[in-house]
Amino acid sequence: LILLSTPCWGHDLHLFVTVQGNKLVGRASFSAVSPAAGCSVEITSASRSSVGKTVADADGRFEFNVETRDDYEVLVRTSDLHQ
């Protein structure tokens, strides 16, 4: 019995989010030069209720309008289920 293996490359998912006025503005990426394009973005409030969902653009960027000041959680999922 011979077992063969091939290298497996892992990567991190980075998330940067800032508040600009009434918007959460962010970018998801695997590195500085590799955006997480098309990933799903879900925003929840401090009480864990869903505020909304959006999809990152080709550069991994997204914006979401928020109506009230709160502590928000931003969850990003890629097509290969990184989060």
Contact 15, 28 (CB under 8 A): yes
Average pLDDT of 55-62? 95
Whole-angstrom distance, CA of residue 74 vs CA of residue 68: 15
- Nearest of 22, 14, 61, 65 to residue 43 by alpha carbon: 65
pLDDT surpassing 50 at residue 1: no
Cα gap 47→53, rounded to integer Å: 16
Which tens digit of pLDDT belongs to each residue from 8-53? 455 688 899 999 999 999 999 987 778 999 999 999 998 889 999 9
Q: Is 80 left (phi over 0), alpha (psi -120 to 50) or beta?
A: alpha
- Predicted TM-score (pTM) of the model is 0.78
